[in-house]
Structure 1
Amino acid sequence: MSSKKTKVELRESKKSKKGSKQPTHVSKELQDDSMSQLLGVTIAAINATKDLVPINTAKGILGTIANILTLVQSVIKNKSDFQAIADKCKTIREILENATKDATEDDLRGHLGHALTQLNKSVNCINSDVASSKEQGFWRRLFTVMIDRDKIAAWEKDLDRVLGLFNFEAITGIGINMKFVKKALELVSNVPNMNAPKNRQIKPPSQPAMLYGRDDLVAELTNLVINDEHLALIGPGGMGKSSVVKAIINELLVTAKFAVRRFFVTYDGLDASTITFETFMTHFAGALGIEIAGTDPIRQISTFLDSASALIVLDNAETFEEASVLLALGDIPPAIAEIANIPGVILVLTSRSRRNAPNIQWITKDILPLDLSSAQVMFFQIYQCASCSEAKEDIKGLLKELDFHPLSINILANAAQQNGWSPTTLLKRWNDRHSKVLDGSRGKLQSLSDTMQLSLSLPSVRNLGEDGLRALAIIAFLPQGLNENLAGRLLPSLPQVDTICDVLCMQSLVYRQNNFLKVLAPIRHYVRDSLQAPDSTCLQDIRTFYYCTVASRLKERDQYADIIISDHVNIEHVVAFDLANIPNDAEETYNTCWQFLEFLERHLPRLTTLTPAISNIVENSSTWMLKSNCLLTLAWLYNTLSQLVEASQAFQAAEALYLTAGDLEMMGDCLITHADLLRCQGRFIQSQNLLEGLQDSNSWESQRNNESPSLFTEDRNWGLPSKIWHWRAKFCHGGDIVQVHTHLEDLFLQCTSVGNVFNCRDALEGLADIAFCESRLSDTMDNLQTLVGIFEGQHSDDALRATVGKAVVASKQGNCDLARELIQKALESFPLFALSNARIFLQQSYGSACIELTAGEWGQG
């Protein structure tokens, strides 16, 4: 034993020689003794206060913290590490004594009750952990245990959070003695330069009165907020971003989590070009209910927010996001990032701009237009008219024309309701004035003009200058929008067009969809009605590119055809615009018109808006042939679409103009085709009369006279279509087959030499018919295969008909499996024509039936 003491004494002697400090374990013992005495005094004071406070919840809290300190005093070995916890327990005692002095149980329904509940949860958690540590020590047959310092630090931080919440909520509660406010703030907060007595609770906005079609979106975003995600809600003006976020902050899950610490900071009404960092921070602090002073507002705001969880909405964030572009205001984004990094703080911003603060993990959500159903409910909730049900379809079309834009729907419905417009009057007002109807009042919530001007006045848009407005006007002019892949080629006079479009997209003035830059309908109407017309230079650029593309098309899927297919609606719009506005002698436009229609008929059959523009072409000697060509290609397009009445009318109009222009061959071709269409409609007498009338007319006599042998020797290629159909008619009416075959072969060679594929088609079809009737099935198949080779990839309808014909021939040859395969191939390769052209569909169906009948499948046939 003495030996051990000697070693200890020697060891302590060596330590004392190195310095005058007391040995470590001696110093620790003194600290623990001092701490034990402090704990005893604090425990006694807490127990005395517990007997005085009138609120049972407060009594329970005081009892719990007294128990915590008693356990620390009796069984915890590292008592000195609990200094901060003990200090906070003293603060809790003083706060509860003052906060509950004049309070009643009724006060627990308000802010004081919420604060006490949170404090009770926190101290119970600490008590449970400390008691658990005691039990662990007991079972290990030890009477003292160590508690990890990190765990103690976590308890300390939690108490800081709850005390901050208690401070904020308790001092704003009704009925609390204001003499306590100053003392409570001194106890809980040591924040310099903050004018604490002027802290006040700012109530967030209430639930929007009208919010339709956003339930799923609000639920989705609420879930993200509850799971501590920062949100950026992006969209153009009037899309309802602010309404959506006001709905979110009033959701039960959100109010339960954040209670009164839901802050709504709006930067609406501030000028992005004049905002300063100080303005930004003062606005921010004001919405939190605090006043800042001094040179470090971020630290003051961060201290306030660090006390408890908080949800902060930054509404109209484009204002400061635009301002932060300026070099002098580059400290705004870092300030937002610092606030976003505070534990428990969640940011939700609404903005027209996509330039959101960096270094924050935003979940970006685009706020889209309403669906039709929600748009209708919203409109008729405002506009209540006895005859609404009768005009429901018209109103539905009007809402669609507004692109279901919430603000526009709201303004239009209110205008109709306030002015007492009937549905008919409403539609007339819209057709007459368009976006002008959407300027019912002043302010961005009542006027489309004001919300548009807000976007156009943003510094990044203004910095684009006139080029920005020129690009926006062109995008609004083109119904499909601007093809982003072709923007540089379409607008060579705007060398920075890609950069311009990026800025317009960033500010939600335009949006990207399927490689096109588009604008919402209300923005398009505003630009057309109030901003500026498309720049003439830009229009000429677009016209030149599209016209050259149409003139250069070669195959179904070459580069030119791909452009026409992708931009076909834009090309159609430019042609229609030019037909209505160009001088009557602009031959290039008329040629582009019929070439474009021919492309549609062959590769993309659909209805066209060019019909009225073609009909309105002024007829004179310089336009007769040009207009005739447009009418003829329009007629063939209608024919392909099985719009037989419209096709007949177009053929008839083209026939008359060709006759006026002196082109008797084309006149005859139109008349014969017109007669064939009448026959297809079952109007046989009219068809026969038309053909007989042609034969009796002077023009027919002239045509017949031109078929003299002398004329054939001068130009043996003249009148090839008439000659081909003459000999095909001879065959149909029992003419000599050998003679017909000889003439058609000769005519086919002539057509091949001049490169006219349509004449080649007509001759080959005649030869195939003759071979089939003579049971020369191999020759028939060869002729049809030649047709497929000529038209496949260029004229899909002709290739389809030839393929169906091959299938019928194959069945006659006994190869029904090949026949079915060919029919199936025709359906797969040319589905558009099989569906859009009733005559082709019937031919395909009839061919299928013939095959099955030949195969003996009577039920299938």
Structure 2
Amino acid sequence: MNTKSRRQKGLNVAIEALNRTKEVPSNTPARAVFGSTSGLLSEIRDSVVDKKDYVELGLACADVCGALDRGLAYAQADQLKQPVLEAIEQLTTTVAQIQGSIVDPDKRSSLSHIFNARGNKETIAAWRSELDRIHRVFDTELALHTHVAVSNIHHEVVTTREIVSDMHRIVVKGQEEAEIKDQTVVGLVESLTPIALIGVGGIGKTSVALTVLHDDRIRKRFGGNRRFIRCDQFQPAPANFLSRLSKAVGAGVENPEDLTPLRPFLSSKEIFIVLDNAESILDPQGSDAKKIYTVVEELSRMSNVGLLITSRITTIPSDCKRLDVPAISMDAARSAFYWIYDKDERPNVIDNILERLDFHPLSVTLLATVAHQNNWDSSRLAREWELRQTNVLRTEHNDSLAATIELSLTSPMFRELGPNTREFLGVVAFFPQGVDENNLDWLFPSVPDRRNIIDRFCILSLTSRINGFITMLAPLRDHLSPRDPRTSPLLCMTKDCYSSRLRLLGDLERDQAGFKESQWIRLEDMNVEHLLNVFTSYDVVSGSTWDACADFVNHLCHHKLRFTVLGPKIEGLPDDQGSKGQCLFRLSSLLRSLGNHMEAKQLLTHALELERRQGNDDRVARTLWRLADENRMLGLHEEGIQQSKEALEIYEQLGDGEGQAKSWNHLGRLLVKVDRLDAAEEAVSHAMELFLDQRRELWVCDSHNLLGRICGDKGEREKAIQHFEAAISIASSDWHDSLISIHWSLVLLFSSEGEFDNAQSHVDQAKSHTVDDAYLLGDVMVLQAWLWYRQRRLNEAKAEVFSALETSRKFGDTGYVGQWCRDLLWLIEHAAKCSDDSDSNTLCSTPPSTSTSTF
């Protein structure tokens, strides 16, 4: 045996098989052999600390009992010849002597000491030799003297040796398996409810079924009437299934044509039947599938039959209660892995690999077995995994994940779907999030009957439906997805569909038609990122792919702020790649939104250089006003003013009204920073007129808000409030960030005049627009903290700042909220120090050397 799990299970299963089969023979010597050997194995299992030294003895006993089981299954006790009885008696004596040597009734307390003694290894070897000799004698006698017909005692239940040799099957004692097992046992014991365990190959269905078969509650109800039938070991024909069923239950009916001759036997007593790997007989596209299904359906309805089915396919009798077998937990996966891979070190890299396997039991077991067989340390295992992924999951005995998966692809139902189905399945497997079922029509327009094919994938347990997505376990995805995406025409078409959708809905703002539709990226950002990341790994030249990257980054900026793995690839593009300038511009916008203004400026500076080389004036101007805004955030106001003016000149030459408006708007923001408030008001007013001409309501709203702040800074309170009210009247109810910004401006205005109640009312209104958005929520929490700071409620302000930080970190935000929190914490700490200084009674308005702060 190669692993502890196999050794332990081998002993447990051997004992169970012996306890089961010793009830069958009617002659006393045979029963004695079974009983004494079972006891011997029990002592080994329960008493020996180092089971490795004694497991071969246990297997020898299992061989002996297997021979007895095979012989006695073919003959009644009164038909055995005298030599066979003598062989049984001799075998009985030998086993009893060994057991007596192991367990002296007067010396049980010293058992552990005896088994740990090194000298006993020689004794064990002698026992093994004696058992082998007796075993050969017994088999010879049995072959020479037993010539009887097959009797009805033969069990379909797997013999001890067969079970012991089948230990490559998964044995995971996790909470998930325990819960499934308990539901199954309760249903069978309490009401004989037929149960079907459904799941993908290698998920542990057979393991659960075997634990149910040997559960004490099942044994108590059904006794020895428990049968285990592997449906993948015969051709799926009604005659074969009925014959196997007749033999398994001991009906003694040769070649039954239907259940009629078996029914009297089946109805005479309660019986528990496991149909393992039943997809082999329940595939509706198989030959004679309806006839076999009818037989299984009738079995499921018999009042005294407890039926348990394991199947990859969901076409089970309607009376069966379906239990989907899930993947296991991290703890269970870790326990299973280290039970086989017996190393003291437990590095995080192993946990990472297990997680990337989606805790698929067979994959976990194969990974551990391969590492154990090759004696790899964790570093070597990690290297092999990174190099070969799931291809590493192949043991020296050719047990592999690939074989398990490919078995499902040979089913009649899968083959009936047509020759291109394998490629379609591979494309579904390619996407880490799965495929949004609502997008099947525009994503796979070339695949006829695509919804029906997806249904079949789910029936075959190759995929599952989770939150509207067609998903697949990670090991299956890795095996089935195309290694080189360029070799799959369908995947290339899918990439083009995504690229087209990104391009059409890419550069829209909230006040433009189609903006809501462009939010689809929130659900599929991981899929699109993976698609583009893989394609750009094979193609660093194609402009269309990199244009799609720019559009994708722009979508993230608008709809799902986060960093992207495409960032380093974009920066690493050669400068003569035509799309690099556009990619850098979009990436800078994302970094700006995430609060990294210095790096955003660096990218824009590089992009500006590339756009000037290409002579694209429109993009040069666009990059200039964005650079101007970054310089405003970095406190480089004069540099920003010059860039805004240059952008404005280019847009005037191009006759681009919207570009001129945005340049005026940003110029006004910069002029505010250098206290040129009249010039700022004039610039923003001019921008608003142009935005009105362009019917850009979002920017008109923003301009009113900015003018309100300028007027507030100039002390023109009523004029400021008029601008704020105009902004609120223009804003759509779903422009949540714009409305929060307006209320923020009003809070600043009222709090500066000591009107804290009015200010608080606008904080509360701002809160109503957070709509469970972590970024907006953090924004408003900072606003609340700032208002409390202004009221010298410093402890409350500080607590709110930390809550805002926790909220932003919890949801992955690393942008302005974190920056504002740092600035505000400095202000609070400075105010606390000032309160201790009798000469200082004022609040600071901004942190020193921090020009980017709103405060």
TM-score by length of 1: 0.67
Q: CA deviation at 1:502?
A: 1.1
The match for 1:371 is 329
Instruction: Tell me how far apart the structure 1 counterparts of residues 799 and 301 of structure 2 sit (CA, whole Å).
Output: 75
**1:373 Cα offset (Å):** 0.9
Shift of 1:503: 1.1
The alpha-carbon distance between structure 1 residues 676 and 221, as it changes in their structure 2 partners (threshold 3 A), is: farther
Q: 1:415-814 counterparts in 2 under 5 A?
A: 415-441=370-396, 446-528=399-481, 535-537=488-490, 539-541=492-494, 543-544=496-497, 547-548=500-501, 551-552=504-505, 560-581=517-538, 584=541, 586-587=543-544, 589-620=545-576, 623=578, 626-643=579-596, 647=600, 649-661=602-614, 664-676=620-632, 678=634, 720-735=661-676, 737-754=677-694, 760=700, 763-788=703-728, 792=732, 796-810=736-750
Question: 1:276 and 1:814, CA in 2 relative to 1: closer, same or farther beyond 3 A?
Answer: same
Look up the equivalent residue of 2:387 and give its one-letter code. Answer: D
1:382 aligns with 2:340: yes
Shift in Å, 1:707: 7.4
Give the corresponding residue for 2:243: 282
Query: What is the identity, as a one-letter code, of the residue corresponding to 1:357?
Result: P
* Change in 2 beyond 3 A, CA 1:704/1:278: closer
Aligned mate of 2:260, from 278, 295, 299: 299
Distance 2:357 2:737 in 1: 38
Q: Which structure's CA Rg is the greater one? A: 1
Single out whichever of 291-300 and 833-842 deviates more from structure 2. 833-842
Q: Which 10-residue stretch deviates more, 374-383 or 483-492?
A: 483-492
CA spacing shift, 1:769–1:615, aligned 2, 3 Å = same
How far 1:251 sits from its partner (Å)? 1.0
Q: Would you say 1:178 and 2:78 are equivalent positions?
A: yes
Equivalent positions of 1:205-244 (< 5 A) are 210-213=171-174, 214-227=177-190, 228-244=192-208
The amino acid of 1:597's aligned partner reads V
Query: Which residue of 1 is the match for residue 803 of structure 2?
Result: none
* Aligned counterparts of 2:152 and 2:535: Cα–Cα separation in 1: 67
Return the alpha-carbon distance in structure 1 between the equivalents of residues 652 and 320 of structure 2. 81
Q: What amino acid sits opposite 1:777 in the alignment?
A: R
Residue in structure 2 matched with residue 245 of structure 1 by the alignment: 209
In the alignment, what sits opposite 2:152? Answer: 198
Quote how far apart the aligned CAs of 1:841 are: 5.8
Deviations 1:182-219 (A, max 9, x none): xxxxxxxxxxxxx9943334545769783221223322
Amino acid at match of 1:305: L
Cα distance change of structure 1 residues 746 and 666 upon mapping to structure 2, 3 Å threshold: closer
| 810-819 vs 305-314, which moves further | 810-819
**Shift in Å at residue 661 of structure 1?**
4.3
Following the alignment from structure 2 to structure 1, what is the Cα–Cα distance between the partners of residues 25 and 207?
39
Q: CA deviation at 1:731?
A: 4.4
Shift, 1:242, TM fit: 0.2
Distance in 1 between the 2:156 and 2:150 partners? 15
Partner of 1:820: 760
Q: 1:595–1:822: structure 2 CA closer, same or farther, 3 Å change rule?
A: farther
Change (3 A) 1:844 1:582: farther
Distance in 2 of aligned mates of 1:244 and 1:219: 10
Name the SS of the counterpart of 1:567 in structure 2.
Answer: helix
The offset of 1:719, in angstroms, is 5.2
Question: Following TM superposition, by how much is the alpha carbon of 1:441 offset from its aligned partner in structure 2, in angstroms?
Answer: 4.5
Preserved contact between residue 243 and residue 254 of structure 2 (Cα < 8 Å): no
Identity level (%): 21
Which runs of no fewer than 5 residues in structure 1 stay unpaired?
Answer: 1-98, 111-168, 181-194, 680-686
Relative distance call for 1:526 and 1:174 in structure 2 (3 A) is closer
Which stretch of the first structure deviates more once superposed, 606-615 or 515-524? 606-615
The answer for the alignment partner of 1:362 in structure 2 is: 320
Q: Which moved more, 1:231-240 or 1:722-731?
A: 722-731
Q: Which residue of 1 aligns with 2:49?
A: none
Distance 1:260 1:100 in 2: 13
Whether the 8 Å contact between 1:801 and 1:840 is mirrored in structure 2 is no
Partners of 1:858 and 1:328 in 2: CA distance:
74
CA distance in structure 1 between the partners assigned to 2:265 and 2:435 by the alignment: 49
Quote how far apart the aligned CAs of 1:421 are: 1.5
Whether the 8 Å CA contact 1:429–1:437 is kept in 2: the answer is yes
Contact 2:502 2:548 in 1 (8 A): no
What corresponds to 1:155 in structure 2? none
> Could you say which residue in structure 1 is the equivalent of 2:4?
none
Give the superposition deviation at 1:371. 0.7
- Give the 3 Å change call, closer, same or farther, for CA 216–339 of structure 1 in structure 2: closer
Q: Is the 8 A contact 2:621 2:650 kept in 1?
A: no
Check whether the contact 2:743–2:766 (CA below 8 A) recurs between aligned residues.
yes
Q: Provide TM-score, normalisation by structure 2.
A: 0.68
In the alignment, the residues of structure 2 paired with residue 320 and residue 484 of structure 1 have an alpha-carbon distance, to the nearest angstrom, of: 30
C-alpha contact 2:74 2:153 (8 A) present in aligned 1: no
The whole-number CA distance in structure 2 between the counterparts of 1:713 and 1:248 is 78
Q: Does 1:262 pair with 2:192?
A: no
Contact 1:648 1:677 (C-alpha < 8 Å) held by counterparts? no
- Deviation per CA, 1:44-102, whole angstroms, max 9, x where unpaired? xxxxxxxxxxxxxxxxxxxxxxxxxxxxxxxxxxxxxxxxxxxxxxxxxxxxxxx9999
Partner residue in 2 for 1:338: 298
Change (3 A) 1:635 1:295: same
2:839 match: none
Rounded to whole Å, the distance in 1 between the matches of 2:543 and 2:305 is 66
Whole-angstrom CA distance in 2 between matches of 1:102 and 1:267: 33
SS of the counterpart of 2:229?
A: strand
Root-mean-square deviation (CA), in Å?
A: 4.4
> C-alpha displacement at 1:291, in angstroms?
3.8
Secondary structure at the counterpart of residue 288 of structure 2: helix
- Alignment partners' CA distance in 2, 1:669 and 1:431: 44
Partner of 2:270: 309
State whether residues 628 and 658 of structure 1, in contact with CA within 8 Å, keep that contact through their aligned partners in structure 2.
Answer: yes
Maintained 8 Å contact 2:701/2:728: no
Instruction: Look up the equivalent residue of 2:282 and give its one-letter code.
Output: E
Deviations 1:466-506 (A, max 9, x none): 23212201101122212112212221111111111111111
Change (3 A) 1:648 1:858: closer
* Separation of aligned partners in 2, 1:529 and 1:705: 49
Instruction: Tell whether the 8 Å contact from 1:804 to 1:847 is kept in structure 2 after alignment.
Output: no
> Taking structure 1 as reference, are residues 280 and 817 closer, same or farther at Cα in structure 2, changes over 3 Å only?
farther
The one-letter amino acid paired with 2:352 is G
* Residue deviations 1:100-132 (CA, integer Å, cap 9, x gap): 99989x99x98xxxxxxxxxxxxxxxxxxxxxx
- Number of aligned residue pairs: 659
Q: Structure 1: how far apart are the matches of 2:785 and 2:611?
A: 36
Q: Which residue of 1 aligns with 2:44?
A: none
SS in 1 for 2:321: strand
Measured against aligned partners, the alpha-carbon deviations of 1:779-823 in whole angstroms (never above 9, x if no partner) come to: 323333444566656764444222222334355688755543432
Q: For 1:392-430, what per-residue CA distance to the aligned partner results, in whole angstroms no more than 9, with x for missing partners? A: x21111111101000011111111111122212111111
2:788–2:797 CA contact under 8 A, matched in 1: no
Indicate if the aligned counterparts of 2:737 and 2:776 stay in contact, CA closer than 8 A: no
Question: 1:611–1:328: structure 2 CA closer, same or farther, 3 Å change rule?
Answer: same
- Deviations 1:804-858, CA, capped at 9 Å, x for gaps: 223343556887555434323433423666548977764563246447879x999
Query: Relative to structure 1, is the Cα distance of residues 739 and 367 closer, same or farther in structure 2, using a 3 angstrom cutoff?
Result: closer
Q: CA–CA distance in 2 between the matches of 1:799 and 1:173?
A: 83
Q: Does 1:408 find its partner at 2:363?
A: yes
Contact 2:154 2:250 in 1 (8 A): yes
Rounded to whole Å, the distance in 2 between the matches of 1:783 and 1:648 is 32
Q: Secondary structure at the match of 2:253?
A: coil
2:582 touches 2:607 (CA, 8 Å); kept in 1? Answer: yes
